[in-house]
Structure 1
Amino acid sequence: MQTESENLVTKISSNVFYKEFTFHKNDFITTDGQKELADNVLWIDDLLFIIQIKERNSTDVKTVVEENKWFENTILKKAKNQIKDSLNFFSLYDEIKVKNVRNHVIDIAKANATSIHKIIIYQPNSTLLNDKNKSLKFCNSSVVGNIHLFNIEDYLGICEILITPAELDEYLKFRERIFLKHPEIITLYPEQYILGHFLVTDDISLINPEYIQSFSKLQSDFNQFDMSAMLENFIDKIPIESDKNPNVYYPIIKEIAKLNRTELAMFKERYSKMINHVKENSFSVPYRFMISRTGCGFVFVPLMLDVASLWENALLNSIDVYKYKRNLVKCLGVSAYKDGEYYNLNWGFVEHEWEHNDELEQALKQEEGFYGNGEIKEFERYKFKS
């Protein structure tokens, strides 16, 4: 049975990574018996988070000595070894089948992660930890390297601000870099300083105490990029029953979940425009954009009522043309049309190597009057009040 802390971290992880990519029932069977991964595993493509959670029973708290001995034995030794064991499983076993929060069984041994984060989250349930243990940001393993240490309250605070996997990945990389650059200084600063510094700049050359004030200046633009309602209930909005198979819809939701807040805002803007055209039954060419960071294109196809029955051809053709135009390996598309009082959304995802195609070359010439060459846009990482 999960502890209160484990339940809380699973809930946080599900909000950031979504239920499809959060694994918390992590017993699995091997040829040499049953094994157990870390308490939480989060996996999207090349991102892999291994999280071990420890909670101090408040009834066991008696003295300062006992509390700090618990921290040293349970956090710095036991939890560290559990992280090491979990990572070792990925090398040992060709198959690791565990359930995600959707209760789907997924073989996560297929994780080909280039970005692996090792995290220990703890809840001491007392104020008896000494300053040295409270201030620790990492513990080191000679086998797996640096492991992030977080008080559960600090981790919750981070995930309330960095609400996408891409941002959390970027922050954890930054956190380790700034620690390695200024180990003694950073150990003296609270977690809020590191996060504040990250929000302002990724330059780690200097420590500026004023960065801790950045929280109060951070612009609340959550509504511009929040797609959580759609993603949380994504499977319920799929009209074709066979498309609800994880093998079909996971690649789609995965590409959306990988976006950061700026990219999600671009997605939401075009998605909303598509819905508005459908609502008004007005014509528009598909809205499109691509993210060079992930190598994926996105296409939004609004359909008027008189051509709604042709949604499949319209969607797949639009995906193929844009994928071809941008020399992409993968492209995701969605079409929408009105169906009585409601809207029908149909999704498509194509992934294969680019190759020359005469028909698509002709299609690109035909659309030149509607689209230009496009433009490259750069955005601020985070927005602050003036």
Structure 2
Amino acid sequence: MNELLKSVPESYFASVSTLDENLEIGEKPLINMAVGIPDGPAPETVMGTVKSAADDPLNHKYPGFRGRPSFKKAIIDFYRRHYDVELKDENIAILYGTKSMLVQFPMIFIEPGEGVYLPDPGYADYGAGVDLARGIRYDLPLLAENNFLPDYESLDPDELDNARLIYLNYPSNPLGTVATKEFFEETVSRFKNTGTKIVHDFAYAAFGYGGGHPSILQSDREFSTAVEVYSFSKSYNMSGFRSGFAVGNKEMIEAINIYQDHTQTGMWGVLQEASITALNEEDDFLIRQNEIFKARKDKVIGALSEAGIPIRPIEGGIFGWIRVPEGFDGEGFVKYLLKEASILATPGIPFGTRGKAFIRISLAVDDADLDECIERLKNISHLWDE
């Protein structure tokens, strides 16, 4: 590998994708609360489409570039139905999973030396793309006193002048916080006439516990400033399908499409047909998915708060953010949980410097494991009193 790739820090999630057999796990059966993959199956209609589409000889050939018209129509109809946003073909890029494009986008959009604002705490792998683009990572602080929304007035003017992109992610991984339509209005207004564009990672769009989440495109109806990245992985239990899309600003979308013209030969037709079925036929599945995770959220927040364990309110998404007891940092407490309670959690530090004193737990486990995890945490709740 070249020196640039060597310089990129190791991906935390790649390093823990398989459980290390040398982990010091306690006597009880391991409960994996680190995984961010919803635990249910994909919708039955989607699986029916997969089975029939796999037998279609058309899907045994190269699928064509930039996605089928029927896939784009399903996306247009979905955004019209859910967000009252009117997209055109030029506003859509089909993605082979969303993580790859969230990482790659700085590599195809910024020039070396230009800056990208990344949320802290925020998803760990955003920064790799900035490094590979030879860009500069700029800190976008998410602080409790501002409801974990960026305070743009506090940002350094010189950095703002050099910033080409700003990444946002609401509902937030790992914080579980959400953004309002008013915040998106302010954000679009703030950056509309600047050289800075916005990338909104909307992976947890389906999980809203105080009502539906706004799309940033509702505040950028001319698509002047932002793209939004939507994933099938969490919303439809389709993480293994590696399907998603980006919608919004024409210039940003065209950059994605041109890049993929050179690096892909189109998404497998079976995956496109499965995605079309999800968008067109499974609005009720999104409602049921939200209900499942809301019940889990209510259970976890209620039980841990009552036990005195400082977990943040979960307003959206599928993760809980817990401050560790005095005397620990996040990494040390993850090791303690493994050894003493056989619980695998995620330390906060991969999400940025502001995550050092936190761990992240996932709601994407079955109810029996969730109940058992709650009991094990309650049994060590005295640690937070010491």
TM-score (norm 1): 0.27
Structure of higher CA gyration radius: 1
Q: Comparing both chains, which one has the higher relative contact order based on Cα–Cα distances under 8 Å and sequence gaps of 6 or more?
A: 2
Structure having the larger proportion of residues in strand? 1
TM-score (norm 2): 0.27
